[in-house]
Amino acid sequence: MYRNNKILLDTSDVINIFNEKLRHMLDKNFYFGLDSRLSEVLRENMYEKLASIFTSLMKNIDFSNNIFLIKNANIDLLEHSINTALYSGIIASFMNLPNSNIKNTIMGGALHDIGKIFEEEAFGLKNTVFFDEDDESIYTHVLRGKQHIDSFSDISEDAKKIILEHHEHYDGSGHPNGIDFEKISLLSRIVSIANVYDAMNNKNGENGIFAPYDSVEYIMAYSGTMFDYDIVKVFFKKIIPYPIGTLVRLSDGRVGVVERIPDGFLFRPVIKIVKQLDTRIIMEEVSLMDNPSITVKAILEKTPNPSVQSYLKHGFN
């Protein structure tokens, strides 16, 4: 059991958090096809595989000790680390990579920001998880993280590459070494997308810097330069940024709830708008697929999402 400002987590807690978040992501945030019976089988198979992989990783003392180092430095950084590991493992699974590669992707995804625990601003501050590609100071954590993790023999070489390479760019313009796609490992290219997607969405909301649409547009805009285009294609064929039941504000100012997600158009949901008139209430459906000029400007209320903080307060059943 580890203690930090009266926050307690043990190995089983971390496994439970991972599994609850995994279940939520697979149920709400990823598309498995129209056939409900087949999609449920595929979803359950992926859940069992990834949950088993993470449980085995937590039995690795070098891995689990570093997870708790992250937790002790900053609980928000732990949240981001777990999210990145989840997105990375799911992408790798959709790419049909071998289980050994999926395991290393999850390991590297969970530890990719380990270098931030050595940065003074990482301790106890809410802005530890941020995204600003123009601020080159953020890349110091890459070298610190690699230097730190090299002393752990049971962290795989593939995971160590992810820690070093997750800010390298497909076209060679990244950091710290400016290598291009021929030298950046495939697993690092996966984690780089997962890292940016979660970091940008951590700033989601009307008072945040980014809306989901911004993160999608950003990654798509930099496909082939910053990110591997083939991996981006896989990710955006499967990720659902606005789950059914999410309360959203549209770019034209209207507020509504995500009602349906058209097959093949995961970013253009059907929104149910409720209007209060003088004598009655009417409901109107707005298809973003039929109205290309309208976008989701902000998520006002997400579907319930397991988090480290909620686990610490209430636990998961």
Task: Report d(CA 200, CA 196) in Å as an integer.
Answer: 6
pLDDT digits (tens, 9 = 90+) for 105-148: 999 999 999 999 987 554 444 444 555 566 665 678 999 999 99
Residues 51-76, mean pLDDT to the nearest whole number? 96
Q: Are strands 296-301 and 247-250 parallel, antiparallel or unpaired?
A: antiparallel
Neighbour order of strands in the sheet with 296-301: 281-287, 270-276, 255-260, 247-250, 296-301
Residues 162-174, mean pLDDT to the nearest whole number? 96
Residues 59-86, mean pLDDT to the nearest whole number? 95
Region of poorest pLDDT, from 135-144, 190-199, 208-217, 297-306: 208-217
Domain region containing 202: 2-242+305-314
- Could you tell me if 168 and 272 lie in one domain? no
Question: What is the band of 214 on the pLDDT scale with cuts at 50, 70, 90?
Answer: confident
pLDDT of residue 124: 42
Residues 188-210, mean pLDDT to the nearest whole number? 77
Count CB neighbours of 57 within 10 A. 22
- Could you tell me if 43 and 139 lie in one domain? yes
**CATH number of the domain residue 20 falls in:** 1.10.3210.10
- Could you tell me if 7 and 113 lie in one domain? yes
pLDDT digits (tens, 9 = 90+) for 148-165: 999 999 999 999 999 999
Residues 197-207, mean pLDDT to the nearest whole number? 68
- Could you tell me if 272 and 206 lie in one domain? no
Task: Report d(CA 296, CA 308) in Å as an integer.
Answer: 27
Count CB neighbours of 233 within 10 A. 12
Region of poorest pLDDT, from 44-53, 179-188, 209-218: 209-218
pLDDT of residue 208: 47
pLDDT at 4 over 70: no
For the chain, the domain total comes to: 2
- Residue 292 makes CB contacts below 8 A (sequence gap 6+) with none
pLDDT of residue 120: 57
The alpha carbon of 65 is separated from its chain's Cα centroid by a whole number of angstroms, namely 22
- In this prediction the pTM is 0.88
Residue among 150, 190, 142 nearest 170 (CA): 190
Are 26 and 46 in contact by the 8 Å Cβ rule? The answer is yes
- Could you tell me if 99 and 177 lie in one domain? yes
- Could you tell me if 157 and 286 lie in one domain? no
- Could you tell me if 203 and 144 lie in one domain? yes
Task: Report d(CA 313, CA 113) in Å as an integer.
Answer: 25
Question: What is the band of 300 on the pLDDT scale with cuts at 50, 70, 90?
Answer: confident
- Please tell me which residue, 67 or 276, carries the higher pLDDT value: 67
- Could you tell me if 150 and 263 lie in one domain? no
Region of poorest pLDDT, from 71-75, 193-197, 262-266: 262-266
Residue among 266, 195, 206 nearest 233 (CA): 266
Whether a cis peptide bond, with omega within 30° of 0, leads into 262 is: no
Are 127 and 147 in contact by the 8 Å Cβ rule? The answer is no
- Could you tell me if 201 and 160 lie in one domain? yes
- Could you tell me if 251 and 122 lie in one domain? no
Are 242 and 215 in contact by the 8 Å Cβ rule? The answer is no
- Could you tell me if 22 and 131 lie in one domain? yes
Task: Report d(CA 304, CA 140) in Å as an integer.
Answer: 35
Q: Is 200 helix (H, G, I), strand (E, B) or coil?
A: helix
pLDDT digits (tens, 9 = 90+) for 236-292: 999 998 888 888 889 998 989 999 998 888 889 999 997 777 777 788 899 999 999
Question: SS3 breakdown of the chain: % helix, strand, coil, rounded to 5?
Answer: 50, 15, 35
- Could you tell me if 147 and 230 lie in one domain? yes
Task: Report d(CA 108, CA 79) in Å as an integer.
Answer: 15
pLDDT of residue 302: 65
Region of poorest pLDDT, from 79-93, 179-193, 269-283: 269-283
